[in-house]
Amino acid sequence: MTPDELVAVLFVPGDRPERFDKAVASGADAVILDLEDAVAAGDKDSARAAVDAWLGAGNNAFVRINGADTPWFQADLDLVARHGCPVMLPKAEDPDVLGRIEAPLIPLIETAAGIESAVAVCAARNVVRVAFGSVDLATQLGVVHTDELALGYARSRLVLASAAAGIAPPLEGVTTALGDPAVLEADVAHARRLGFGGKLCIHPRQVPLVRQGFAPTAEELEWARRVVGAGESASAVDGQMVDRPVVERARRLLAREAKD
């Protein structure tokens, strides 16, 4: 699966190699081995070694490296270059930093500066998708990360910047409520309504709910078939005008069904 097709993307701590294979078996579209927030400073080197060994055994995953302002950045870059794996860069703000990474890249935009630089970040070389770091951004802004209104501008800016750059819709940030599926389902529905194309997960049990939530519904697919069946010319379906942009949306929904 290519990066622009990812829907449910699962983080796994880089210092927990016993979980790597389980994460791959979860049904996630991709796994991100996390060397950044999930790993304490004193465990960075051992986590990198564990990721190095697992990738060296022929396994595939994204790697979230440490930021350019940390002492671990260069060693992490050497690791991903050695294995040629896709990279997630945290606190992405500066296109010049992104340009130093010779790999398919998913910048994690999670700061005010990153949001304001979203158009340039999305258009940077090697960027295939961006992801939203809602928890970190909320912390910087002094708001609750579950407040949809407070983070509404940031989310919409990432959706618009991605479309302007011609890349796939962004990945929504994590849902931290692990024991309440209703919260996850509501988060997915909100993200999809805004134009996000997938979501970051922090537990395997979130994966199927995310995949289901971003999949076209039976009602949407039936509508899409009626629209496409009406032909290319402007017409009416269900009492609504249908023209070329509406037909294109219908075709995209049917294409999603074929991929799923």
Q: Is 129 or 5 the better-scoring residue by pLDDT? A: 129
Q: Are 110 and 154 in a shared domain?
A: yes
Q: Are 211 and 227 in a shared domain?
A: no
Provide the 10 A C-beta neighbour count for residue 144: 10
Q: Is the pLDDT of residue 192 over 80?
A: yes
Average pLDDT over residues 173-187: 96
- Rounded to the nearest integer, the mean pLDDT of the chain is 92
Q: Are 113 and 238 in a shared domain?
A: no
Q: Are 238 and 120 in a shared domain?
A: no
Q: Are 35 and 119 in a shared domain?
A: yes
Q: Are 125 and 254 in a shared domain?
A: no
The confidence score (pLDDT) of residue 252 equals: 77
| pLDDT band at residue 199 under the 50/70/90 scheme | very high
Residue 202, token pair as written in the block:
């922090």
User: In sequence order, what are the residues at sequence separation of 6 or more whose Cβ sits closer than 8 angstroms to the Cβ of residue 41?
Assistant: none
Q: Are 210 and 232 in a shared domain?
A: no
The confidence score (pLDDT) of residue 253 equals: 76
Distance of alpha carbon 189 from alpha carbon 65, whole angstroms = 29
| pLDDT band at residue 34 under the 50/70/90 scheme | very high
CATH number at residue 202: 3.20.20.60
- pLDDT tens figures, 104-139: 999 999 999 999 999 999 999 899 999 999 999 999
High-pLDDT (> 90) share of the chain, %: 78
Under 8 Å between Cβ of 176 and 202:
yes
The confidence score (pLDDT) of residue 117 equals: 97
The confidence score (pLDDT) of residue 216 equals: 82
The confidence score (pLDDT) of residue 224 equals: 77
Domain that includes residue 146, residue range:
3-215
High-pLDDT (> 70) share of the chain, %: 94
Residues of the chain by 3-state class (helix, strand, coil), percent to 5:
50, 15, 40
Average pLDDT over residues 52-67: 97
The confidence score (pLDDT) of residue 138 equals: 97
Under 8 Å between Cβ of 228 and 253:
no
- Residue 88: strand, helix, or coil: strand
Could you report how far apart the first and last alpha carbons of the chain are, in Å? 11
Q: Are 141 and 165 in a shared domain?
A: yes
| pLDDT band at residue 212 under the 50/70/90 scheme | very high
Q: Is the pLDDT of residue 210 over 60?
A: yes
CA angle 187, 193, 194 (to 5 degrees): 95
Q: Are 47 and 159 in a shared domain?
A: yes
Burial-class residue 160 by CB neighbours within 10 Å (0-12, 13-18, 19+): middle
Q: Are 176 and 237 in a shared domain?
A: no
Domain count, the chain: 2
Q: Is the pLDDT of residue 259 over 80?
A: no
The confidence score (pLDDT) of residue 257 equals: 67
Distance of alpha carbon 171 from alpha carbon 157, whole angstroms = 13
Q: Is 260 or 150 the better-scoring residue by pLDDT? A: 150
Average pLDDT over residues 220-236: 71
Q: Are 198 and 234 in a shared domain?
A: no
Q: Are 241 and 187 in a shared domain?
A: no
Average pLDDT over residues 31-50: 97
